[in-house]
Amino acid sequence: MEAITVLGLCNGSLIGLVRFSGQTAWERHPAGDEFLHILAGKTHITVLAEGGPMRFTAEAGSAVVVPRGLWHSQCPDSEVTTMFITPAAGSERSMKKDPRVAG
C-alpha cells in the first residue's frame, strides 16, 4: 500500500511525502540524485551499483542520497513515512526481479 502527497516543485525536482508498507518497485532517476529523509519507521534499501548491490537500513531521522541513474528499492519492516526530493522528469519503475536485465 502506498500513499503519495506531492508538496511542491523546486528546481525541477518533486518534493513530497510517501507512506508505504511492503516491497516497493525498483526505480531510478536518470536526471539526478534522489534525497530521502525517513520520518517514521524503518526501511531496508537496496541500490544496484556497478560493483554489486549495496544494502543498508535507514530509520526515522536518517537521510539517504541515492545516486543518479541507479536502480533502487525499499522493503520496510512495517509502515514507513519518507520525505523525498526527486527529479520530476525521466524517472523509471520496474517490477522485474533485476531491472537491469533487458526483456
Residue 35 pLDDT more than 80?
yes
Confidence of residue 103 (pLDDT cuts 50, 70, 90): low
Q: Which residue has the cell 518497485?
A: 25
Give the pLDDT of residue 2: 83
**CA–CA gap between residue 58 and residue 79 (Å, rounded):** 13
**CA–CA gap between residue 75 and residue 25 (Å, rounded):** 10
Give the pLDDT of residue 59: 98
How confident is the model over 71-102, as pLDDT tens digits? 999 999 999 999 999 999 999 999 999 999 87
**CA–CA gap between residue 73 and residue 55 (Å, rounded):** 10
Please, what are the domains in the chain?
Answer: 2-94 (2.60.120.10)
Q: What is the mean pLDDT of the chain?
A: 95
Is residue 18 within 8 A of residue 80, CB to CB? The reply is: no
- Give this prediction's pTM: 0.92
